[in-house]
């Protein structure tokens, strides 16, 4: 049940990401469709200029300029909005509205240009409408429904009109463009399925990669960083502090007589103690600190921009919090601490940890449940 819920949650997340990816692609491809449809109308108007009333052409181009401007404004708003607000819920409907408006004007205008019964003009108009349909396939490849609606609005009015004309040539042209449209609509299904699959696979791979890399860096028992991840980040922080002359301190802690806890209460009780101490450490750290389980019952905290006196105070606070920790069955849990600060002789973070380890050894030798400073 738990696994099922997890899978449902993951699938829902991936579905939402794929929908956002499709929206992004739609907007990225839109520059060509917006400009292309207006340029095609301009060219068609120019070609028909001598054959049709100028007023009709100008009226059509005027309306198209308005709808094109609307779409340009929408694109500009989208690309200037913060990326986290570019969600399908916010943008899909707006896009649909501007698309339907401009495709209707285009298709309606094309129908109007058919009116004087001149075959050459009709052929020209149909040719342009077919061209628009082909470009819709690539421009709206992420949204099959948009491709179909824009083909329907641009191509259908003039094709259907031709179908009801008396001349066989006109009927033939209308029928041919309808057959063509049905082929194109069929092809868009394969294209959009392939697109969807590519987006989904990419997102699934990203998801699997993030889980794998999180698992490779995390200590399973406590949820803290594991040794490798701790040293990876600690090295960077060490270099950063050294370069910028910032104080850097480290705390190392080791649970006292942990072997005795394991032997007396069992390994599982020992694991539970480790989890609880991991949680106490987690609560005590700031965002800029790095902490990890170095192995067994040994933990380390690297405190950025922290002088040794502050580090010592934090070690003491943590030591007392651990000593107060109520653990089931197990009583009197304590830990010993070694504290060290970066100095001029240290070459790297390992030497710093080494200093803290020596101090920790002293804390153990002096009777445990205490903090020693290097
Ligand atoms: P000291 O006070 O000197 O540190 O004594 P100690 O007993 O804590 O130290 P020692 O190094 O002798 O024992 C550490 C024990 O921690 C031995 C090992 O079995 C146990 N241990 C290491 N990893 C785990 C773990 O993941 N779970 C549990 N339950 N025990 C572990
Ligand atoms: Mg120990
Ligand atoms: Mg130990």
Quote the ligand 3 centre to 321 CA distance (angstroms): 19
Active site residues: 297
Q: Which of 63, 89, 176, 88 is nearest to 127 (CA)?
A: 176
**54-79 mean pLDDT:** 95
* Whole-number pLDDT of residue 149: 96
d(CA 5, CA 64): 50
d(CA 5, CA 224): 25
**Could you tell me where in the chain the CATH 3.30.70.270 domains are found?**
227-373
Pocket test for ligand 1, best of 258, 264, 364 (most atoms within 8 A of CB): 258
* Whole-number pLDDT of residue 5: 83
Express each pLDDT in 234-256 by its tens digit.
Answer: 999 999 999 999 999 999 999 99
- Residue owning the nearest CA to atom 10 of ligand 1: 259
Give CA separation, 50 vs 46, 77, 122, in Å: 8, 39, 14
The answer, yes or no, to whether residue 361 has pLDDT greater than 90, is yes
d(CA 328, CA 269): 8
| Residue 147: φ, ψ to 5° | -60, -50
Sorting pLDDT into bands at 50, 70 and 90, what band is 1? low
| Residue 337: φ, ψ to 5° | -125, 140
Q: Is 262 in the pocket of ligand 1 (CB under 6 A)?
A: yes
Quote the ligand 3 centre to 82 CA distance (angstroms): 49
Q: Is 105 in the pocket of ligand 1 (CB under 6 A)?
A: no
d(CA 55, CA 36): 23
Sorting pLDDT into bands at 50, 70 and 90, what band is 326? confident
Lowest-pLDDT choice from 2-16, 180-194, 330-344: 2-16
Q: Domain 227-373 class? A: alpha beta
The answer, yes or no, to whether residue 51 has pLDDT greater than 90, is no
Q: Is 271 in the pocket of ligand 1 (CB under 6 A)?
A: yes
Quote the ligand 1 centre to 373 CA distance (angstroms): 23
Q: Is 254 in the pocket of ligand 1 (CB under 6 A)?
A: yes
Instruction: Give counts: helices (H), strands (E), the chain.
Output: 11, 5
Express each pLDDT in 70-84 by its tens digit.
Answer: 999 999 999 999 999
Quote the ligand 1 centre to 237 CA distance (angstroms): 29
DSSP-assigned letters across all residues of 338-369: EEEE--SS--SHHHHHHHHHHHHHHHHHTTSS
Residue 295 CA: nearest ligand 1 atom is 23
Q: Which of 318, 220, 216, 225 is nearest to 271 (CA)?
A: 220
Place of tokens 């304590």: 334
d(CA 322, CA 113): 85
Q: Which of 56, 34, 33, 32 is nearest to 44 (CA)?
A: 56
The answer, yes or no, to whether residue 318 has pLDDT greater than 90, is yes
In 3-state terms, the chain is what percent helix, strand and coil (to 5)? 70, 10, 20
Taking the CA of 262 as reference, the closest ligand is 1
Pocket test for ligand 1, best of 224, 255, 262, 363 (most atoms within 8 A of CB): 262
Sorting pLDDT into bands at 50, 70 and 90, what band is 180? very high
Residue 332, sorted as left (phi over 0), alpha (psi -120 to 50) or beta, turns out to be left
- The pTM score is 0.69
Q: Which of 287, 274, 280 is nearest to 320 (CA)?
A: 280
Secondary structure letter of residue 116 according to DSSP:
S
Six-digit token pair at 84? 């986290």
Q: Which of 102, 84, 95 is nearest to 16 (CA)?
A: 84
């Amino acid at each position: 049940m738990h696994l099922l819920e997890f899978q449902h949650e993951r699938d829902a997340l991936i579905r939402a990401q794929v929908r956002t990816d499709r929206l992004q692609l739609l907007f990225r491809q839109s520059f060509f469709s917006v400009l292309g449809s207006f340029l095609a109308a301009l060219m068609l108007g120019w070609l028909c200029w001598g054959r049709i009333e100028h007023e009709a052409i100008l009226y059509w181009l005027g309306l198209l300029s308005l709808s094109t401007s609307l779409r340009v404004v929408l694109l500009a708003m989208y690309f200037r909005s913060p990326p986290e607000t570019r969600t399908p819920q916010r943008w899909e409907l707006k896009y649909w509205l501007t698309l339907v408006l401009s495709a209707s004007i285009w298709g309606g205008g094309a129908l109007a240009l058919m009116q004087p019964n001149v075959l050459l003009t009709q052929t020209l108009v149909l040719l342009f409408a077919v061209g628009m349909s082909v470009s819709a396939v690539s421009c709206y490849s992420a949204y099959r429904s948009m491709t179909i609606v824009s083909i329907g609005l641009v191509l259908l009015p003039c094709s259907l009109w031709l179908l009801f004309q008396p001349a066989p040539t006109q009927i033939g042209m209308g029928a041919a463009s309808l057959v063509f449209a049905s082929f194109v609509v069929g092809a868009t299904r394969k294209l959009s399925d392939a697109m969807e699959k590519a987006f989904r696979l990419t997102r699934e791979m990203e998801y699997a990669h993030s889980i794998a890399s999180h698992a490779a860096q995390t200590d399973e028992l406590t949820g803290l960083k594991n040794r490798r991840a701790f040293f990876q980040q600690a090295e960077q922080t060490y270099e950063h502090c050294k370069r910028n002359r910032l104080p850097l301190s480290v705390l190392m802690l080791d649970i006292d007589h942990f072997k005795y806890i394991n032997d007396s209460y069992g390994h599982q009780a020992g694991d539970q103690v480790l989890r609880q101490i991991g949680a106490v450490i987690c609560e005590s750290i700031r965002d800029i600190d790095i902490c990890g389980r170095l192995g067994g019952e040994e933990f380390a905290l690297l405190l950025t921009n922290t002088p040794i006196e502050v580090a010592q105070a934090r070690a003491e606070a943590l030591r007392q919090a651990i000593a107060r920790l109520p653990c089931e069955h197990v009583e009197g849990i304590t830990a010993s601490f070694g504290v060290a600060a970066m100095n001029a002789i240290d070459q790297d973070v390992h030497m710093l940890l080494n200093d803290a380890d020596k101090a920790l050894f002293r804390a153990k030798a002096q009777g445990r449940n205490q903090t020693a400073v290097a």
